[in-house]
Amino acid sequence: MSEALLFVYGTLRAGFAGPMAQRLRREARLLGRARTVGLLYRIADYPGLVPGGAAWVVGDLFALPDPATTLGWIDIYEECAPGFPEPWEYRRSRILVDGPGGPACAWTYVYARDAAGLAPIASGDFLAP
């Protein structure tokens, strides 16, 4: 697949009703549900992904027709664009995901701070009841 891919696991997911999730659905093509190896933590009213371990984090995989534009505004939304004070809470990183078409490399936003003391989301799915 030649298009850039984006894995989202929190407030940008297709099942989330926020304005930024709606914008992503307008600008990108939803490929379907995906997952990656990692741990998911509740930060506040949003999650943070820490890659690695033996658990799965569930999310959605999007194809980005215009990755520079889409990733640019998401960098601002995640407050990890130039101009935001460091240390940033998130960093954009490429990870391996298990998507609808099999394994793929996708951009995602990884939690960049110490997760000690944060509550884990045991299901690995931020939108699970």
- Give residue-wise pLDDT tens across range 94-109: 999 999 999 999 999 9
Best CA proximity match to 80, nearest among 104, 108, 59:
108
- Runs of H (alpha helix) within the chain: 19-27, 67-77
pLDDT class for 84, splitting at 50, 70, 90? very high
pTM strictly above 0.85: yes
CB atoms near residue 4 (< 10 Å): 19
Q: CATH topology for 4-120?
A: Hypothetical upf0131 protein ytfp (3.10.490)
Domain ranges of the chain: 4-120
